[in-house]
Structure 1
Amino acid sequence: MTDDDLAGRGVSYDHSPAGAWVDVGLTLPAAAAGRVQVADLAAAAARAVDVRAVPGVTRVFVEEAPGGGDDAWQVTTQGCNLDAARAAGDLVDVARIESNHIWAMLQAYGVEAGRAALVRDLNAVFASYGKVDPRHLGLIADYMTHNGGYRAFNRISMEGAPSEFQKMSFETTTAVLTTAAINGTSDHMTSPSASIVMGEVPLVGTGTFELMQSF
């Protein structure tokens, strides 16, 4: 739509690079009966018009960041578009972008960034239950990303594990045991989880140590 078209519709705006205002004219038919609520009309028009939109982002919130100081404000979005955020490098500190969209983080910054995002979000979830050793969360994140991609940490993903006892240690123990018994599946006990379930010493580490005792 050209400037003349907009002007014909009662719309004018600031052409400067730092443009900060827009005038919109609302035209009503002369035969309109009754009292007109201009505020309601303006609100309806605002909801129907996108002044500026970023694909993948539906809502934006400007919030006060924890800690205050020079970093007193942060932008939180509903939806994710990392390419658009990085393109706005003059407005956004791209070195501090965070997202709980793990796949998007992995695709944009690599598997290590995806793993770090997983650990951060896992810690946020488990923080309400008390302090959790970060090594446990790191182990979960390693399992989910060790092949360079990203897989779910649930019973569906666990179905691909070669150890039946490892599957039983995760969830649905009876169902896994029943299926293994019916199919005559064997377990070579090479998984640390399987060894622990059966009370065996896991096949991990070198098994070499020295014992020192003071006299």
Structure 2
Amino acid sequence: NGNNAYNERFGNVCKHADYIHEYTADLDNNLWCRLTMIFPATQPRIDLESLIRHEASRTTITSIVGIQNCFISENKEYRAKTKTDLDDTEYILSTEGENINALMTYYQVFDLCRIYTNNIHRMAQIFGIEAANRTLIREINRVFGAYGIEVDYRHLSLLADYMTYEGVYKPCNRLGLRTNASPLQKITFETSTSYLKEALLHGEHEDLKSPSSRLVIGRMVKCGTGAFDVLTKLSS
């Protein structure tokens, strides 16, 4: 009942320090609490402000599973685009860890259309593979951007498309290459002996459409200037 809940809450608060004498709180709406502290007269004067700040920094008001810490910052890009005054300010909440499903319950606070995480798997699971594709491009661009390296969007989109075109997010390594239809392309990447053995055991077919497979046998790659068969007649 209410009395037991109050007594339990009072005990939990008072056991943190001997100088806490009394504690009352709004158990119905959880809007306020009052704390009474008693210190001996012989004790030197205590700076209550620093004490309250210290205790407040250790106190958890509310928490979400999966999120360890959070930070609030002003969205300066929003101010630059809208050119609004200081009263119309947009803020960004950045977190360590993620729990998108829990954050979506705060729809009256957050713009759910712009919620974002660098966890590619979670973006694919919640928003779909296209969202994961865009997230992958954005995160790769951020990694290179931190070192002042600019990468053409076409290269990033090609890589992201290859990692997501099957409808799932797969790594860009030999494990992600396992589902590729070209045995020669897999053989020229990594663990050549292993892929060659699998191709022989399963009788895999090579259609010579991938760039790697065509280079292996000395043929022109079927892309760029090699994508067509129309040639200009040589002058005699």
- TM-score under structure 2 length normalisation: 0.65
Larger radius of gyration: 2
- Alignment deviations for residues 128-179 of structure 1 (CA, whole Å, 9 cap, x no partner): 3522121211121112211211111123323443445423654x5xxx3455
2:6 aligned partner: 3
Q: 1:153 aligns with which of 157, 163, 172?
A: 172
1:139 aligned partner: 158
Give the letter for the 1:140 counterpart: L
Displacement, 1:41? Answer: 9.8
Determine if the alignment matches structure 1 residue 193 to structure 2 residue 212.
Answer: yes
2:24 aligned partner: 12
Displacement, 1:42? Answer: 8.0
Q: 1:53 aligns with which of 58, 63, 73?
A: 63
- TM-score under structure 1 length normalisation: 0.70
Q: 2:72 aligns with which of 56, 62, 66?
A: 62
* CA distance in 2 between partners of 1:68 and 1:183 (Å): 54
**Structure 1: runs of 5+ lacking an equivalent:** none
Matched residues, number: 201
* CA distance in 2 between partners of 1:90 and 1:182 (Å): 58
Q: 2:103 aligns with which of 85, 102, 120?
A: 85
2:19 aligned partner: none
Give the letter for the 2:156 counterpart: L
Give the letter for the 1:93 counterpart: D
* CA distance in 2 between partners of 1:83 and 1:11 (Å): 35
Q: Secondary structure of the equivalent of 2:122?
A: helix
* CA distance in 1 between partners of 2:196 and 2:8 (Å): 75
* CA distance in 2 between partners of 1:194 and 1:82 (Å): 43
Q: Secondary structure of the equivalent of 2:77?
A: coil
Equivalent pair of 1:64/1:72 in contact (CA under 8 Å): yes
Instruction: Quote the sequence identity (%).
Output: 27
CA change 1:169–1:13 in 2 (3 A) is farther
